[in-house]
Amino acid sequence: DGGITQSPKYLFRKEGQNVTLSCEQNLNHDAMYWYRQDPGQGLRLIYYSQIVNDFQKGDIAEGYSVSREKKESFPLTVTSAQKNPTAFYLCASSEPGTQYFGPGTRLTVL
Amino acid sequence: AQSVTQLDSQVPVFEEAPVELRCNYSSSVSVYLFWYVQYPNQGLQLLLKYLSGSTLVKGINGFEAEFNKSQTSFHLRKPSVHISDTAEYFCAVRENNAGNMLTFGGGTRLMVKP
């Protein structure tokens, strides 16, 4: 069954902690993306990767980091430098022309 | 730079009534257009897309959209909505020189009432 998986579905973080959100895809897509969604707002691009071992900053990369060591995986780390990390995080991958999304991870800072 | 405007943040409608969700974009180059739906606490699901060909595009769940190049619009329509259509709808645009990068509108919350 092909698709994009994100884990965990819910994540709680204490202030000052780094946390890593997982994104895996078995669609054989080259490109992957991370978006942040805040209540009542659209999607904002955090990082994207067009190919393994390469990634670029999006519009709101400060306080986040990524890696792309495997084609299937694009984990996102939310660092303690991110001042307001509570949000819904969406991962996507794309075939030429179209992006497809995972189910999302809701991160809450306690 | 391109931008996407969804003119209505919320659209209330009664069940079985028709609905139109509006989307306008600005771009200096040719574009490809998408509509996604998001149910509560879920990811985005592709409803339909316009890449080329007929300007009237049919998607899943009975939705359709029409690309109007002169008005730079891509409005989403459904002739008769169901309670289950209650969700957030996002319009997105990709410029033909931007790889796979999308610009999203702010979203429209469709609220179907019995």
The reported pLDDT for the residue numbered A2 is 65
Residue B63 has pLDDT above 60, yes or no: yes
Residue A49 has pLDDT above 70, yes or no: yes
The mean pLDDT value for B82-109 works out to: 91
Please give the share of chain B, as a percent, with pLDDT higher than 70: 99
The reported pLDDT for the residue numbered B1 is 57
Let me know: does A108 contact A13? Beta carbons within 8 Å: yes
| B102 close to A (CB below 8 A) | yes
Separation CA A13–CA A56 (nearest Å):
26
Q: In Å, how far is B73's CA from the nearest CA of chain A?
A: 18
| B34 close to A (CB below 8 A) | yes
Q: Which amino acid is at A55?
A: F
Residue B71 has pLDDT above 80, yes or no: yes
Residue A83 has pLDDT above 60, yes or no: yes
- CB-based contact A97 B107, cutoff 8 Å: no
User: Mean pLDDT of all residues in chain A?
Assistant: 93
Let me know: does A7 contact A22? Beta carbons within 8 Å: yes
The mean pLDDT value for B80-100 works out to: 91
Per-residue confidence band for A1, with pLDDT thresholds at 50, 70 and 90: low
Residue A62: HSE in the Cβ half-sphere, 13 Å Cα cutoff:
3
